[in-house]
Every structure is written in C-alpha cells, then in structure tokens.
Structure 1
Amino acid sequence: MRGFAGPAALAGLCLIASPAEARDQAIDIPAGTLGQAIAALGAQARVSIVVAVNDPGLLRRAVPAVRGRMGAGRALSLLLRGCPARAVSPAPGVWRIVAASSPRPKPVPRAVMARKSADPPPAPTLADDIVVTASKRDTRLQNFPGAVTVIGGAGLTRDGDTGTDAIVSRVATVSSTYLGAGRNKLFIRGIADSSFTGPTQATVGQYFGDVRLTYNAPDPDLRLYDVGTIEILEGPQGTLYGAGSLGGIIRVVRNTPDLEQLGGSLTGGVSATWHGAPGADLAGVLNLPIVDDALGIRVVGYGITEGGYIDNPLLGKKDINRSNIYGGRAMLRGKVGGWTIDLGGTFQKTRNLDSQYADRDAPPLTRYSRLPQGSDASYGLGELVASRHFGDLTFVSSLGLARQRLSERYDATEPGRPERLFRQRNRTNLFSFENRLSRSPQDGLGWVVGVSMVRNTTRLDRALGDPDMPLPATGVTNRITEATGYGEVSVEPVSKLILTLGGRYSHVWLTGEGADVAPMIARLNASVTAAREESAFLPSFALSTTPLDRLTLYARYQESFRPGGLAIEGDFVRRFLNDRARTFELGLRRGVPGADAVSFSLSLSRTLWHNIQADFIDGRGLPSTANIGDGRIWTMSASANWRPVTGLSFEGGIALNDSKVVNPTPYFLSFVVPGPTPQATQAHIVNAVAADAVTYGRVPNIANIVARGAVKYEFAVSDDAQLSLAASARYTGRSRLGVGPILGALQGDYLDTRISARLSFERFALTASVTNLTDEVGNRFALGTPFAVLSEQQITPLRPRTVRIGFDAAF
C-alpha cells in the first residue's frame, strides 16, 4: 500500500490448517480384507489412518461390510472387532492402528477435541501408509518406491495464494517461470527445458483426478479452492503417465459431492500491497444432495483481483499489472448398479492487464515500455469418470475434453523506431481417454494395467507490426495422436522386500503445417511438414524394503519421453525430434508427516536427458525450438518434519541441483549469434561457446539450491475458539534464463517470507497474513519480452509486501 508504514503490529501472527472435524457421515465399505477396508474408510471419512502394527497378516484378515452413518472411530472399532489391534486418535483427523496391548496415548486437551472446523470435511490432509492414489492402485506410502509429496487441501488458499504458487511455496523440488498467470511452465526435480511456451510438450503432467489438464500448453493456473489433496510424484513417470512426465506429475484431488448432507462454505478477503494497488478475493462452495445416497452435485465459484505494483512513467501510469481471474467448476456424482459416475466441468478466465516485469537498472518496480503488454487466457474442461469395484479389483474409465486459449502481446519497438507490436495466439484442444484395471497391493501382489489415447491439436498464430494492424507472421499447427498400453506389477518375493516392474508402449502419429506461409516457402517445407510416426517403449524397475518399522529404502529406474513436432524459425517451419529422459534414483523415507513425531525423507537421482528440446531466439528476435544436445542432471532433495508437542510442528526441505548440457548439437553452437553475422566473427563466437559449455550449458530456470522452512503452532484460547499461527521462508538460489550466452541472464537469489494467523470458532474463522515481510524486490524470472532479451535488463520482482485480512465460514 502506498505510503503505509511497516507491519510491526502483525509480525507475530501466523496460521496453520485446522485438523479435520470428527463427525458422523455416510460410510459404505464392502466386505474384504482389513487393508482394503482401511483404504476405503480413509478415502470416505477423509481422515489419515496409519497402521503401526508390524504384522503383515493383519491387513489380510477378512472383515465384514460396514455401512451406515458413523464417525471414523466407530467404523474402525467395527472393522477391528476380534482383531489383536485397536484404533487411537493422537490428533483430530488422524488415526493410528496399534497393537491391542499398546499403552494409550495421552488424551488431547478437551478444548481441542471439542472444536469444530469452519471448513467442509476435507479429503485426507496427510500422506499416510495406505493412500498414494497417484500410483493408480492406492499403494501404501510405506511401500511406494519413489519420491512423493502430499499437500493437504484444508487451508491451502487462506493466505491469498490460490493457484500454482500455493504448491511452489510448499515444495522445494517444484519451480515455475513467472511470465504471468496462465502463461507459466512448471518444472520438477531440475528437469527444465526452456523459458517460453512453444510447441514442445510440458515436462510436468498436470491432472485433475484421473483427467489430464494440458499437453503442450502452459500451466492454466487453476485456482485450488475446495481441494482435498495435491499429490506430487517426482519423475520421470513414463510407465503410468506416458509422454510429458519427464519431471514428474502433479495430481489435484478435489473434494467430491457428499450424497448425504447439504453443506457449503464461503471464503473471502481483501489485501493491501506496498507500493501498489489493493486486491480482493471471494469463493463459495455448495454441496447439494439430490437423491439420498444416489445423486448429488458440488459447485465451486470464485473471483479474484490482484492489485498491480509495476509503474510505467513513460506512459504516465501506475500499478499497470493488475490481474483479474474468475471461474468455477461443478461435479455431478451418481451411483447406479455398483458404479460411481462423475460428470464434471471446469472453467477459468484470466486477464493480465500488463506484464509484471521491470527494468533492471530503473527505479524499483518501474518499467519504460511504449506499449501495454497484457495477456488473456481461458481454460475449459469437461470430464466423465466411471469406476466400480469387483471384489478386490477396481476399474476406472476416464474421458476428458480440454480447450485452452492464450493471447499475448509484446512491445517489439526498436530504439528510435516507430511503435511495433508482436501478438501471439495459442489455441489448444485436448482429448484424453483411459481405461485401467487395478488390484491394490495385498498378499504380496498388486498390479495395474491400462490403455489410453490422447489427441492434441495446437495452432500458434503470430502477427508483427503497427499496433493497430500488425501483419500476419509465420505460424504453425501441430497435431499429435498417442495410443498407449501400459502395466505395472509389484510382488513380495521375500518378507519386507517388494519388487516392482512396469512398461509402457506408445505409438505416436504427428502431423502439422505452417500458417500464413508464403506459397514458395510452403513448397520448400513440404517434406518437413509431412506426416510421420514414432514409437517408444518405457520400462521401469524398482526395489523397496522396510528393514525397520516406519523406515523405507528404495531404488528406482524410470523413463519418459516427449514426441517431436514443428517449430517456427524466421519464415520457415522446421522439425524438432523427440527427447527422452532416464532417471536412476536412491531414497529413504521414515515416518509420516503429521502422524509421526519425527519423519524425514531423502532422495538422490541422476537423470540422463537425450536430445533435449529447448527454445532459443531466432534471427528475428522471436523464440523458436530445437534439439540442443544431451544433458545430465544430479538432484538431491530432503525434507523433515518434527512435532515435539501437540500443536507445535516444524518442517523443512532442500533441493540441490547440478546440471549440464553435453554433446551440444549444431543448433546449440549456432543460435548464440542471431541475425546476419560475419562468418569469421560467428566462427570465433561458436568456438568460444563450445569451449565454455560448462558456463553456458546449465539447464535453464533451475536454481542450484532451493531451501524452505516453516513452523506452526495451534492452541485453544477458550472452549470454542482456537488460534493457529505459522511462519515460513523459502530461499531460491541462482539460475539462468536459458541455454547459451544470449539467454544466459542471471535470475533467482532471493528470499520469500510469510507469517499468518487464524482465529477459528465453531463455523467461522478470521485470518490475517503478511507475505514478503522484508519487501524484497528480487528477480524471479529474467524475461518480460523476448525482444529485449539481448540487453539482459529485465527482471520479474516479487510481489511487494502484502497484507491480507480474510474470513472463512461453513454451513
């Protein structure tokens, strides 16, 4: 807020998510094994259940069906009747199954146990021993052979971070570009290809439940209201998720319709940004049963305005980069003849009035550009998912139709020349379909088999010239059809040792052509744009063991690939080839965050990346795509959680990355000199770059170190009121914008901090938060417009210190 003094009065206020409320609800668990029943109960009751009994036979024990309205505690007591075990609750929303002779834990204070949450019942907020649903067969976390992070949805959006930033701020291995909402690319575990969004497929797969969100389009940055959990599997994940999962996958699990109980919630707030304009947000959720235990609908709607903070004295304007976002989604759930059918729709519209970058050498938060550089993005998704249990088998069929549009405007004016605008429009249509049959791991055996088909069409149109009437420039259309069959099986040849084998075979058809291309050039491109086919087999192998209670060791090998496509270079359309990543990983994991007093994980991976697809600047100053060579990436990541006493917790994480482009292709050595250059000069520069590949050959956008830490504390202030406090900090180290000296601008090296507080009552809560406490400018991303990239004078600052006051209520 302009002219407003520092936030000393709020410096001690912090927030954490409240535990889930224990309450009666509809429970429908079929007869089967105890392990199956516990998995079903955790999903239906939306609680975390940890099995702390070292007896493999316990989970294979047959149990009867349990149906009716009851709490999780009552359902567990019925399931454990006659078993040498009992269920205890060390904290609201968390249950532990312990041996019957184990001493009972100290009771939770009465005020904490009696407190009710102002949120609707969330899905599981903690990773636990039995639910890693992104494995496509509900693998227990203790047996999952890979790096996985589960973020609870309760309280995820209370601090004002409602989109992808809410994920990035909580996970050290996830990073993003910062072109603006609806325009960014996500990266996991140091596998990053470029700073621009072009024809290359994303390195991170994004999913809403079982339905794919994108293929080669940017992150739609959907708002994460009413989310149960977010699961992040570090990659590659080619066996289960196919092309486009080189870095891993992010799977958002939404809260589904409750077919028994009417309810809803309302969340909102206002914010003030130092040196900038105010903002506001409002979101609502309504759950409506239509036919008792047979049909219901859940609807989410939201609107957000984020105040600008960049000034443009050249145009005489302040706070030019305001963003307005609105959208919603709805899901209709029905149960018919043993089937569960979900029909859903999602829509979001994002309008950025101007770009959020500043000039490096200008006064802070200031940019001198002659034209507005805004963008408009829209996203729509329709989905149909049907599932059914057949004894211990589960069948899931999913269908998704996505439509994504992005329009961007850049100032391409050259010094001393008339104003010139560059406009780019990206139109993407995605069809995805998958059928799979799975058996959750039990009796030493678990498996999944499936088939899928994806068809993606992207048309990229460009125009350059007078701002009122820019002339069409060369564009391109890419069409990709991918048919796949995959399978994965886990067996336990000896006690406490699990072997996992998998494979995926994909066949890809690729077609495309140039747009707005001169006839003569089109004829020259005919052989380039001809249809072609590619095939890939992606094997996987993993070993995991639990030598000690709650301790897992694993080794893993996994692959993934991206098909090729067509890119624009000058007036021509050029082909780029597929690329492929192979990762070797060793790791360990001890305990469950939030359930165990101490938990930690450690992972070390080495990725070999062949034929990297990446972007560069062509002779006209526009981004293009090519295969730049091979690469190798070392990544070490670690996280730890400690809960010394009830209500107090500490958490931390770190990711270290070391990457290098090796065996550079001719494009890597030639695109360092854009435009016409004397041959001798070009040869001299090419040789210099080849000799200095270690300096310029780092994989772009990935910091050498990312570290974060957080502390949370919750306590009762009265019989019906609870205060939650939290503070966190995240340091992002240095990285480079791209590959080579022309895109070698430095970025990163900044600290992002926040504190927050929440005072909650039975059905209502007040929140307060402060982000960027030190009001640091920083540089998240060294790019605003590709036409000024040669000057290396662009920075993307952090949002200045922002205070948000909000509320949330439930009924």
Structure 2
Amino acid sequence: MLRQSHGARKLAVLLASGASLAALSCGSAWAADAKAGTELTEVVVTANRSGAESLQNVAMAISAVSVEQITRSGQGNLSDLAKFTPSLSITEGAPGYNKFDMRGLSTGGYASSDTSDRSLVAVYLDDTPISLQGQTPDLKVYDLERVEILRGPQGTLYGAGSMAGTIRFVTAKPSTSSFFGSVEAGGATTEHGGESYSLRGMVNMPIIKDQLAIRATVYQGEDGGYIDNIGLRNKADANLNRTTQARVAARWTPTDKFTVDASYTFEQSHAYGLNSGLSGLGDYKVSTNSPEGTRDSFQMYSINFDYDLGFADLVSTSAYTWRRIGFNASPEPQIGYFFQDYTGLTPSANAYPLFKQPASYSQAVTNSIPPEKYMISNKVHDYMQEIRLVSKNDGPIKWTIGAFYEQQRRNLYQDIPTPGFDKLSYMNYFYGPFNTPDGKYNSKTVDGAFNPDDIFSGLQNQEEHQFAIFTDDTWHATKKLDVTVGLRWFSFSEKYYLFEGGVYGVIDHKPLELNAKQKSNGFNPRFNVSYHVNDDLMVYAEAAKGFRYGGANQPVPLGTTGVAGQCTQNLASYGYTAAPLTFGPDHLWSYSVGEKAKLAGGRVTLNADAYYVDWQDVQTRLLLNCSYFFTANKGAITSKGIELSSVVKLTDELTFSGSAAYNDAKANGDIPTVGAFDGDKTPYFPDWTATAAFFYDKPVGDGTLHLQASYQYRGKEQTTFDSSATTIKNGVLTRTGPSASFAVIPTSENVSASLAYDIGRYEVGVYANNITDGAKVTNIGRATYYKIYQAGDRLTYARPRTIGVRIKATF
C-alpha cells in the first residue's frame, strides 16, 4: 500500500509538471503572438490502415519515431526504439535475440528452445508481420518514412500476435518524379570495447517518368564488441557483430488509380558472442570454452496492389518470408557435475573423473570442463496474403473490410555436442556394459542422439494455418462525434512434431517423441468513441479484446523412478496426472481513455491516456524440479497505468519532446505455475519509464546546425514474480524459502547527445551515447545447482559509452 501511494504521488507530480510546462508554453506562445511558421510539423501516420491521417486525429495511443533523429544520434538498432516511446520494453541478449513487452504484460523470460512461446507485440514491415517471439530480425532503422508504435490491443487489424501492441516499420517508397540518392559513412569507438563502422547508401531511379521507379538501399556495418572472454575461448571484444542489409523496391503507377509496390528485403547478421558477462569476473567479462553468438539470414519478397475503385480502394498484400536463425551458447558450468568425483577416485586429464568439486569457484576447474556447444537452428517459411477494401472518407460511415491468410512452417534443430562426453563421463563406471560393439557408452547408439558425444538432440517441426475475416468501421455520428466498431473472426490450426534424444532427452534410453494437433477459432471485437471538442482537442475511450493462439507442449516423462519418477511427483503436486499435450489461446480486455491536444497555436501537443487491462487464461510456463517444463492456461493478470507525451516548440530553434509512463501490472490471484502470489508484480517491466529530449536547429553560415540531447529513465524490474521459491501443499501455493532465480535488474539512465552540421549536399556530425554509462545491466540470470562452476550471475550488458562520427552526402 505504501508503494502504491508513493507511486501515485510521483504520478501526480509528473502530471502537474506536464500541465505546468504546457501552460507556460502557451503563455509564451501567446505573448510572442506565434506565427504559423513556428508551429510544430504535423506528423502523419497510417496506423488505422485506411489512409494517411494526422497522429493528433488518431483515437488511440500511438507514437511516431523520427528516423532522421535516430540516424543523427547514431542509434539505429531495434532495441533503440524503447528510448523514444512510453510503455515499451525491449530486452536484447544479442542482435536478433530479443523480447518485446508493453504495458507490463509479461510472465517471464524467453526460452530459445520453446517454439510455442508466442509474441505479445507484433512487428510489421509495412503490411507484413515479421516478428517471432524472442527472435525478431534486427532491421536497421534506415530509409524509412517513420516507425509507428501502437500501444494496446490491435487484434482487429493486426491479428493474434498484437494483444499488447504493434510496431510498424513504414518504408520510404520509390519516387517516379526525380533521380536522387545519398551515401553515409560512420565510425565509432566503445569504452571497454572495439571500434565500429557503418556504410549506407540509397538511390532512387525513375525508369519511366511518373510511372515506374526503383529505390535501392544497402547497409554494411560492424558493431565492435565490448565483452572479453577469459575462458578457453580467450577472446577480447568477443561479441562483435557484422551486418549486411539491402532492399530493392519498385513502384509502378500505370494510371492515377492503380499503384503497384514490389520489394525484396535482405538481412544477414553474425554476432560472434552474446552481450553477457559474469558478475564474479568484473564488468564486461565472461568465461566460456567455446564460441557463442547468433546468426540471422532473412529474406522477404512482397507485392502490394492498390486500386482506386471510386467508392473504395482495393488493397492486396502478398508476402513470402524465409529465415534461418542460429543461436549458440556455451554453458559448461551446467554440466560440470557430470565430470566431478563422487566416490574418492583420482582425477585424470583423460579419464573420468576430471576433477574434484572445488570448495569455491576455480577458473582452472571451469576451464577443464569439456566445451558444451549449445546450438539451435530455426528455419522459417512464411506465406501471407491479405486483401482489404477501404471506403473513401466522404460519407457518414468510413469502413474497412478484409480477409487474411497465413501459412507458416517452422523447423527447429537443437543439438548439444560436448567433445569427449561419451568417454569422460560414462567410462562404464556408473553404467554398462551397453548394447554397442565395444560395450561402452555412445550417445548416438545408446540414447538416440544425432551424433556421438551429443548430450541432447532435438527436433520441433510446426505447420500453422490461420484465416481471418475482419472489419473496422467508423460512423461519423456528428461533425464532432465518431463511433468505431471493429471485429475479427479467426480460425487457427497447428500440427506439431517433436523428437528428443541424448542423455537429456531420454527415459530409460528411449528417445521421446510427440505428435500433437490443435485448432481454435473465435471473435475479437473493438469499440472506440472519440469526440472532437474543437479543432485542437480530442477525447476518446476504447474497449478492445486482444488474443494470441495456443500451442503444443514438449513432453514430460512419467514413471516411478529416476527423473520420470520425480516429474510424476512434481506434476501430481500441481494437480496433473500428465502434462497436457497442448495449451489454448489466452485473451485480454483492455479499457482506455485518452486525450490529444494542440495548444498555443500549434506549438504544443499534449497527449495522455489511462488504461486498465484484464488478462485471463494466461499462458504460463511451469518449470518442474525435474528440469522439464510445459505451458498451461493458468491465472489472471491485471495491468493499469497512465502514459503521457508532449512536444513543445519552445522557440523557433528549440523543441522539447518528452514522455512518461507509470505501470502497475500484478497477478490477480495466485498463479502456481509461475510461483506468483496474489498482488505480485509482473517480471521484466518497470513501474516507471520516462524520456526527455531537446532539439536545437539553427541556421549558421551557409548551413544549419542540429543539436540534440536526450535522457531515458527506466526503473528497476525483477526477473520473476516473487522472491520466494514455492511449492504446492494441500492444494495451496506455499513459500519454501528464498528463490534461487529471483533477481532485481537495476534502474537504467541513458544520456545521449549529438551535433550535426549540414551545408548544401553534405552533412557531418558527432554523437555520444550512454555518456554516463547509466544504462548497464539489462538482464540477470542466476546460477542455480551449477553455481560452484560459474563465476557469479549471467549479466546482460547494454553497450557502454560510445562516441562516433558520421558524414553524409546527397545527390
């Protein structure tokens, strides 16, 4: 109760400060007798997918990010978007290995091997969904018109993966009227790390004047590493990342009523390490015995038709996406116990056991553990087709009706080769003789692994189909009152196959296999009322339902002895006789009210909204003590909060932009599957987020000087719901002591600044990001049963202080 009161007081102060700032700005503007030329530039968005309109007239919580401001500040990565909007959280472990959360709707971290973990925030490239939970491609923010961030459920127009919100990358389209282009080069150095560089280029070429044009862009860059690996990997700046990206787009306008946009997007990145270190080794240091990192190959082909039928526009979007995603980790401490002495034998370098368990952490002992090469490869094939009919906005009703189809095939290959494992850990001491030619243990022939020395091998193959019909209609009841009703009907089906082999994937030397099917369908409505008090003030209220599809579970072994016996007992304590093969959709209702205002003759915008979210049948992952897990629809979560954003034209040269959000998301009743008690705060989301930025643009000599400075605040957050370990006793969730995995991620404060000068066709600039190193630790993974072999917690680090230069030429 005291914490809530304190938060409410802070919020009241914040809102009062915002109101005071707006009032002062209004007074200044009136005193100055503002001219039209000093008004804020109108921001245009297409979030409603029914044509371009001013952001101030869109009756929803939405932010639009300026690509030019991002580029000048040297911040072009996907994770940088959270610095420009309230209520968005992006946790990134490596490029392309990320998790998006909005408005506190989160239940825990992301599991790289769980293909059924579904996204709560959808990411779109124009009209094509590209998000994959935990592995959304890190497309550099370049050659875009803008980035739109929609907060709250968007299921009517954007489907199942957008129950918390949607992010849209809106690309710049080819111009058929003129030839132009640009080239840009940049270099930077990172404290504690290496150098970075980037090269960008864009060219727009009309092929047939006013009818056909091509726009091509290319990016090549290297982000210098800042994590030093002191294990057998022994590499400085180990998390270096190289990226190549390209896009070719064509626009054909044979008549003024028909437009065709076709594009090909390519991205390939290779991170040679993860952005993580170990707390016991000092800042920005890690110890592994084999390489870590990520790979991402992304290709997308899309074609869009827009035909003016007179009474409406017919819009068709077709897209095919191919991706191959790789993830490598080297978590040797987790298997150290395999190779330690249990019964007083003499350790040897080439025979079991390798070492005696140390009394405390020993780097030499950890270096002697065979490298555990944890490897995951994902292949994704996705085809989508959407067609919609959008009416003109010249009648009492503005309507959109459409249909959507998507087919996705996903194949996950997982393997954990550990050189010497068969010989060093199973030399007929614990087991044998085995049914092999020499009677000795062999991972492949005994436990069905893909190869010898594989401690785990697995396959997960999915094929999903979804079909939806949707409509979104606005009735202009009066000149000031609009009423919107949206509805989406969906049908979803999935086929799922799983295989697990190796010592971690078998019971009594029998690999686990599973075939599962599931289907679901239903309706997803949205209701919105907006009232234009005058040309500069709009108020609105919305009730919207969000949903996401269910999925299939990995099997949990059953038995009376060993791991299977332990799993059986764990399941029984939670009321299960067996783990469910599938889990169903979850859903939420979100209720929000808001206002959008232009003040002081257009020199101030002040937008605010408040929301309440009721999330039911939540998909939660139950981690059993026997090391297996499954997902079930258990529990409820409520989230409530307030978001505020404002832009103020303080003078002709100086502009202020700021945002703040307060969120209170908690378990509504006990949720035993995630160890949450009634009132526990959701993990991986802070109570408070805030941003503030100043932009100064002034003619100097023959050019223009651009100065910007920004500050981002992100409050502390926790990694699990509760700080206690739990169990079920007599059907009641009960604390058993401190949790081994609970951690508090500290507050983050990021200060950045940039200075640029453009003259004619040229622009030069310098920038500095994370100047005070106030953004440092972004995630914490506790060591549990293996902590004697790991030097502390796994900490994910933000990029330290980075200073760079850039030069750009246009033609």
Give TM-score, length-normalised by structure 2.
Answer: 0.77
User: Residues 776 and 799 of structure 2 are in contact (CA less than 8 Å); yes or no, is this contact kept in structure 1?
Assistant: no
Q: Is 1:423–2:378 an aligned residue pair? A: no
d(CA) in 1 for partners of 2:591, 2:101 = 18
d(CA) in 2 for partners of 1:172, 1:520 = 48
Question: What is aligned with 1:318?
Answer: 236
Deviates more, 1:654-663 or 1:445-454: 654-663
Residue 405 to residue 217, structure 1, CA distance change in 2 (3 Å): farther
Shift of 1:555: 0.4
Q: Is 1:510–2:517 an aligned residue pair? A: no
Shift of 1:465: 4.1
Q: Which of 531, 545, 551 is equivalent to 1:559?
A: 545
Question: What is aligned with 1:651?
Answer: 657
Q: Which of 706, 714, 728 is equivalent to 1:724?
A: 706
Deviates more, 1:536-545 or 1:561-570: 561-570
User: Residues 134 and 233 of structure 1 are in contact (CA less than 8 Å); yes or no, is this contact kept in structure 2?
Assistant: no
Shift of 1:802: 0.8
Residue 521 to residue 758, structure 1, CA distance change in 2 (3 Å): farther
Residue 296 to residue 693, structure 1, CA distance change in 2 (3 Å): same
Shift of 1:486: 0.5
Give TM-score, length-normalised by structure 1.
Answer: 0.77
Please list the CA deviations of residues 707-741 of structure 1 after superposition, one character each: whole Å capped at 9, or x if unmatched. 111111111111x2111111101011111224454
Shift of 1:329: 0.8
Q: Which of 407, 411, 416 is equivalent to 1:459?
A: 411
Letter in 1 for 2:374: F
Residue 778 to residue 788, structure 1, CA distance change in 2 (3 Å): farther
User: Residues 478 and 511 of structure 1 are in contact (CA less than 8 Å); yes or no, is this contact kept in structure 2?
Assistant: yes
Q: Is 1:395–2:308 an aligned residue pair? A: no
Q: Is 1:302–2:219 an aligned residue pair? A: yes
Q: CA RMSD in A?
A: 3.0
**Greater relative contact order (Cα < 8 A, sep 6+):** 1
Q: Which of 225, 229, 248 is equivalent to 2:142?
A: 225
Deviates more, 1:595-604 or 1:396-405: 595-604
Q: Which of 145, 152, 165 is equivalent to 1:248?
A: 165
Q: Which of 75, 78, 86 is equivalent to 1:164?
A: 78
Shift of 1:303: 0.8
Question: What is aligned with 1:329?
Answer: 247
SS in 1 for 2:156: helix
Q: Which of 200, 208, 217 is equivalent to 1:283?
A: 200
Residue 304 to residue 628, structure 1, CA distance change in 2 (3 Å): farther
Taking the TM superposition and a 5 Å limit, the aligned residue runs for 1:28-107 are: 105=35
Residue 336 to residue 541, structure 1, CA distance change in 2 (3 Å): same
In structure 2, runs of 5+ residues without a counterpart are: 1-32, 340-368, 421-452, 558-578, 723-738
d(CA) in 1 for partners of 2:785, 2:706 = 47
User: Residues 79 and 91 of structure 2 are in contact (CA less than 8 Å); yes or no, is this contact kept in structure 1?
Assistant: no
Residue 213 to residue 106, structure 1, CA distance change in 2 (3 Å): closer
Shift of 1:503: 0.6
d(CA) in 2 for partners of 1:287, 1:615 = 49
Shift of 1:125: 7.8
Please list the CA deviations of residues 244-271 of structure 1 after superposition, one character each: whole Å capped at 9, or x if unmatched. 1011111111111111211111112000
User: Residues 125 and 153 of structure 1 are in contact (CA less than 8 Å); yes or no, is this contact kept in structure 2?
Assistant: no
Question: What is aligned with 1:97?
Answer: none
User: Residues 753 and 769 of structure 2 are in contact (CA less than 8 Å); yes or no, is this contact kept in structure 1?
Assistant: yes
d(CA) in 1 for partners of 2:593, 2:543 = 9
Q: Which of 518, 525, 528 is equivalent to 1:539?
A: 525
Letter in 2 for 1:486: F
User: Residues 317 and 386 of structure 2 are in contact (CA less than 8 Å); yes or no, is this contact kept in structure 1?
Assistant: yes
Please list the CA deviations of residues 735-759 of structure 1 after superposition, one character each: whole Å capped at 9, or x if unmatched. 1224454543211411111010000
Shift of 1:312: 2.2
Letter in 2 for 1:326: T
Q: Is 1:127–2:49 an aligned residue pair? A: no
Residue 462 to residue 784, structure 1, CA distance change in 2 (3 Å): farther
Shift of 1:521: 11
SS in 1 for 2:273: coil
User: Residues 485 and 527 of structure 2 are in contact (CA less than 8 Å); yes or no, is this contact kept in structure 1?
Assistant: yes
Shift of 1:328: 0.7
User: Residues 79 and 92 of structure 2 are in contact (CA less than 8 Å); yes or no, is this contact kept in structure 1?
Assistant: no
Question: What is aligned with 2:287?
Answer: 368
Q: Is 1:775–2:770 an aligned residue pair? A: no
Q: Is 1:490–2:474 an aligned residue pair? A: yes
Q: Which of 434, 437, 440 is equivalent to 2:386?
A: 434
SS in 1 for 2:81: helix
In structure 1, runs of 5+ residues without a counterpart are: 1-102, 110-123, 670-689
d(CA) in 2 for partners of 1:307, 1:341 = 40
Q: Which of 593, 596, 610 is equivalent to 1:589?
A: 596
Question: What is aligned with 1:807?
Answer: 807
Rg larger for = 2
SS in 2 for 1:461: strand
Count of residue pairs the alignment pairs up = 667
d(CA) in 2 for partners of 1:367, 1:538 = 46
Q: Which of 470, 475, 480 is equivalent to 2:464?
A: 480
SS in 2 for 1:399: strand
Letter in 2 for 1:711: F
User: Residues 444 and 492 of structure 1 are in contact (CA less than 8 Å); yes or no, is this contact kept in structure 2?
Assistant: yes
Taking the TM superposition and a 5 Å limit, the aligned residue runs for 1:152-231 are: 152-196=66-110, 197=112, 198=114, 199-216=116-133, 218-231=135-148
Shift of 1:764: 0.4
Shift of 1:617: 4.5
Question: What is aligned with 1:15?
Answer: none
d(CA) in 1 for partners of 2:511, 2:284 = 47
User: Residues 411 and 787 of structure 1 are in contact (CA less than 8 Å); yes or no, is this contact kept in structure 2?
Assistant: no
Question: What is aligned with 1:501?
Answer: 485
Shift of 1:471: 4.5
Letter in 1 for 2:227: I
Q: Is 1:668–2:674 an aligned residue pair? A: yes
User: Residues 741 and 784 of structure 2 are in contact (CA less than 8 Å); yes or no, is this contact kept in structure 1?
Assistant: no
